[in-house]
Amino acid sequence: MSVLIVLDQSDNQIKKSAFEILSYGSQIAAQMGISAEALVMGTVHDDLAALGKYGVTKVHQVNNETLNHVDGQLYAKTIEAVVSLTSATVIVFSQTHTGKSVASRVAARLKAGFVAGAAGLPNTDNGFIIRKTVFSGKAFANISIHTTIKVIALNPNSVTTLLTNGTATVNQLNLTVDSSKIKITAVNKITGEIPLTEADIVVSGGRGLKGPENWGVLLDLAKVLGAATACSRPVGDAHWRPHHEHVGQTGVQVAPNLYIALGISGAIQHLAGVNRSKIMVVINKDPEAPFFKAADYGIVGDLFEIVPQMTAEIKKLKGEKSI
Amino acid sequence: MKILVCVSKTPDTTSKIAFKNANTQFDDAGVQWIINPYDEWFALVRAIEIKEKDPGTIIHLVTVGAADCDPIIRKALALGGDEAFRINADSNDSYYIAAQIAELAKQNQYDLIFTGKEAIDYNSAAIGGMIAELVDLPYISLATQFELNANTATITRELEGGEEIAEVVLPLVVSCQKGIAEQRIPNMRGIMAARTKPLNILEPIAIDTLTSIVNFELPAPKAGCKMVAADNVPELIRLLHEEAKAF
Ligand SMILES: Cc1cc2nc3c(=O)[nH]c(=O)nc-3n(C[C@H](O)[C@H](O)[C@H](O)COP(=O)(O)OP(=O)(O)OC[C@H]3O[C@@H](n4cnc5c(N)ncnc54)[C@H](O)[C@@H]3O)c2cc1C
Ligand SMILES: Nc1ncnc2c1ncn2[C@@H]1O[C@H](COP(=O)(O)O)[C@@H](O)[C@H]1O
């Protein structure tokens, strides 16, 4: 029996979200006294043996170019084959875009109970119960999975990644893969920006910035912090910022270590996309803004005065450290 | 063209989230029920736009739920769509729900099956992929654009840090989100027409429930927001750096 951890890759590289689930899956395996093994599909240039440091003993690779692009139909068949090869009883994904299009298919194919958006380790004392976020982060549900095989998709940034000093053996698998019914005609990466869903720090702006021409103060702060930028829905709707930056109930959901909200009132639909952030900071001139109820740190004041001071202060701090 | 749009009933986005019966059940006292926004604004409206361009299109709506779903499915019919199906079962298990919809899909041979990106109550983003697997069709999740050219769909889907454009020959399953269509409101004519559109109640097929909810929890309340004076920005940065260790 084993825990099989299915890794996301793109551009021939294993994605950051994969390291978290490697550690997570290994912790589940340790808890259940079974082995932790990983699966990589497609061509990757990473050192797979080194993934042992996250706790897995084996890394299987199906190095087939057809799998470089995510096609859930082909992925599900491939994963099924590897599940039977490894006698996996727990299959772990990350609840990323890839996870969302693949994990559910795998669960249906294997008729395995599925928990998407898991928030932590399962309780395996008596059955298999796992916590997930529900109502857009406003609550949790404990879900019991009844089937022998369990499929879990973990919310990114939910558990601490633990390191060991192990290495993994790499097992190349030669599986036949059908041709894809999905023809990819273009991939447009947003270059030079930190992907919002992978960022440790997010700096976000709302209608309080008054107009697109004022975004400089926000961009400067994001730059010194190495942060991704986001915005509230009206800002995206008014095209002050690109669509893909809109966070919230109907936009992107983020869970960074630090979320800084500038001139955002903190409507419930906005909070629904950001409330899994570890630390939230609010700068708003209205002391009654609802965001202060959800935040960890706040300043009541004019963002146009405060934000440049924050940037300068952080620069100073970072400068001192590098001496 | 035959399109199936999956719709689910969810609490309004401003609802207070509370639980009852020793936290085993959602407390719906005072809750306003709506069509899941992704289903209404994006999946359904995109289907209606396809029908507006090609009037021969037939749109079916399906929801798996109890009789209290009827008002939302009527509202969906008022927006557009020709016929609705309610599969009379109350379940939170994604596999159970998907298998019911897959059964309807097998009988009716749709060219397109649209779902929302996720239901805003249980946030699984699972049903679309499961239906696709159960009827063995390609699945494109998180679509932000969808164009049809005869039998080929050109779809833009969101990736982490970018987007991908794909061409797929129908039939297929698509999960829809922002960008794919613009939200609209039902008009009087639609509301009147909806009264005469068929709402068929189907009994569910026998399917195992693979998961169940043990109970719910609310997040621990925040310690409260630590306020820093506007003339003391260095203190905020110090707290973030030293206390919160946020960077
Ligand atoms: C079904 C539904 C779904 C929705 N989904 C989303 C979603 O996904 N994401 C989202 O963001 N919203 C969403 N909304 C909209 C949401 O309800 C709010 O309208 C929106 O979040 C408000 O955006 P805002 O905070 O930028 O603007 P406002 O509410 O106008 O707030 C601007 C804030 O800036 C402050 N301010 C102004 N000037 C300054 C200054 N100089 N310095 C400091 N502070 C200043 C003001 O005090 C105010 O608090 C949704 C709404 C509905 C009904
Ligand atoms: N009970 C249901 N009946 C019909 N469609 C549903 C139901 N639940 C979810 N869906 C559809 O599946 C999508 C994804 O839901 P979920 O996987 O529950 O997050 C929703 O946006 C709906 O389109």
Look at strands A139-145 and A113-118 and give their pairing. Answer: unpaired
Question: The domain spanning residue B28 has which CATH number?
Answer: 3.40.50.620
Look at strands A169-172 and A58-62 and give their pairing. Answer: parallel
Does A244 reach chain B within 8 Å, measured CB to CB?
A: yes
pLDDT tens sequence across A98-109: 899 999 999 999
Q: What are residue A293's DSSP bridge partners?
A: none
Nearest chain A alpha carbon to B168? A182
Does A304 reach chain B within 8 Å, measured CB to CB?
A: no
Tell me if B243 is assigned to some domain: no
Q: Please indicate whether, in this complex, the C-beta atoms of B154 and A282 are within 8 angstroms of each other.
A: no
* pLDDT at residue A191 in the model: 76
Residue in B41, B130, B211 closest to A145 by CB: B211
Tell me if B228 is assigned to some domain: no
Q: Residue B101 corresponds to which amino acid?
A: I
* A197 — pLDDT class (breaks 50, 70, 90): confident
CB neighbours of A94 closer than 8 A, spacing ≥ 6?
A: A8, A15, A17, A18, A20, A21, A153, A154, A156
Residue in A185, A294, A299 closest to B165 by CB: A185
Tell me if B158 is assigned to some domain: yes
* pLDDT at residue A90 in the model: 98
Please answer whether residues A268 and A234 qualify as being in contact, where contact means their C-beta atoms are separated by less than 8 angstroms.
Answer: no
Residues of chain B with pLDDT under 50: none
Tell me if B176 is assigned to some domain: yes
**Which domains are delineated in chain A?**
2-172 (3.40.50.620), 196-317 (3.40.50.1220)
Domain count, chain B: 1
Q: Please indicate whether, in this complex, the C-beta atoms of A257 and B246 are within 8 angstroms of each other.
A: yes
**Burial A225-258, CB ≥16 within 10 A → b, else e:** bebbbbbbbebbeeebbeebbbbbbbbbbbbbbb
Alpha helices in chain B (DSSP H): 37, 45-53, 70-79, 94-108, 127-135, 188-196, 233-238
pLDDT tens sequence across B23-51: 999 999 999 999 999 999 999 999 999 99
Tell me if B86 is assigned to some domain: yes
Tell me if B25 is assigned to some domain: yes
* Angle between the N-to-C axes of helices A72-86 and B127-135, in degrees from 0 to 180, rounded to the nearest 10: 80
pLDDT tens sequence across A221-246: 999 999 999 999 999 999 999 988 99
* A320 — pLDDT class (breaks 50, 70, 90): low
Q: What is the pTM of this model?
A: 0.93
- What distance in Å separates the CA atoms of residue B206 and residue B14, rounded to the nearest whole number? 35
- The residue segments making up the domain with residue B175 are 2-220
Q: How much is the average pLDDT of A259-264?
A: 98
> Is the CB of residue B119 below 6 angstroms from any atom belonging to ligand 2?
yes
Please answer whether residues B27 and B50 qualify as being in contact, where contact means their C-beta atoms are separated by less than 8 angstroms.
Answer: no
pLDDT tens sequence across A200-209: 999 999 999 9
Q: How many Å separate Cα B181 from the centre of its chain?
A: 14
Q: Note the ipTM here.
A: 0.93
H or E element at residue B154: strand B152-159
Q: Which residue out of B45, B61, B97, B139 has the highest number of ligand 2 atoms within 8 Å of its CB and is therefore the one to mutate? A: B97
Tell me if B18 is assigned to some domain: yes
Tell me if B186 is assigned to some domain: yes
Supply φ then ψ for residue A223, to 5 degrees: -65, -45
Question: Residue with the nearest Cα to atom 14 of ligand 2?
Answer: B118
- What distance in Å separates the CA atoms of residue A90 and residue A78, rounded to the nearest whole number? 16
> Is the CB of residue B96 below 6 angstroms from any atom belonging to ligand 2?
no
